[in-house]
Copies of this chain bind each other. A is one copy, B any other.
Amino acid sequence: MTAPADAHLRETGLGGQTLLSGGFLEVRRDIVRLPDGATASREYIRHPGAVAVIPILDLAADPTLVLVRQHRYPIDRVLLEWPAGKRDAGEPTIACAQRELLEETGYTATEWAWAGWIHNAAAYSSEGIALWFARGLLPGPARPDAGEFVEAVTLPLSALAALDARGELTDVKTLIGLHWLQAALSGHRSWSWTSAGNARDVA
């Protein structure tokens, strides 16, 4: 993504320190050399990355989707979101996707299709979120983490699109997953389905 031609934009890390660590968030402050040779400091969250799953319950004309409702304390709102979660260190995104879908909704999926990477807070977090489509869903009991209160809900694509049109869907991974799903269903975005055992991370 950063070609040699981008030397006029590029910031080069010169080392730094960990400002906060040990709890949930790891915060770094690095010194960077700016394109004009001056230096500046950059504070950011070191994040292991996350995964979100777009679970398609049926492939009717108006497919039924599985989402979760979760209170997000930093914004004090209940958000409607795709099942999602943070990656364990070194965990492939497909393994994280299968784990989070099971934990939060109880479903396992027989087929998976890669959707894409998104960067949600690149100004101050290294987080990237990998999005996967899932279908061929088999129900089972959810297995929430201790202290995690998540409610699985099903709703038709048309209802989710109506929430988006009214400005009531605000979670970024959920908006982008919805738009990519609409594009794939209308033939404007390609997707390639693989059996659960053969699904692999995109390099």
Give A contacts to B, CB under 8 Å: 1-3, 6, 8-11, 13, 19-20, 23-25, 27, 29-30, 32, 34-36, 38, 40-45, 69-79, 86, 116-128, 147, 149-151, 165, 167, 170-173, 175-176, 179, 183, 188-190
Contact = CB atoms under 8 A, between A and B. Distances in A.
A73 B89 CA distance: 21
A122 B78 CA distance: 10
Nearest to A165: B189
Most buried by B among A11, A120, A183: A120
Given A9-B78, A11-B73, A86-B123, 13 more contacts: A2-B78, A3-B78, A11-B149, A24-B43, A24-B124, A25-B43, A34-B149, A45-B45, A72-B119, A72-B123, A79-B119, A118-B172, A165-B190
A188 B151 CA distance: 30
A3 B69 CA distance: 12
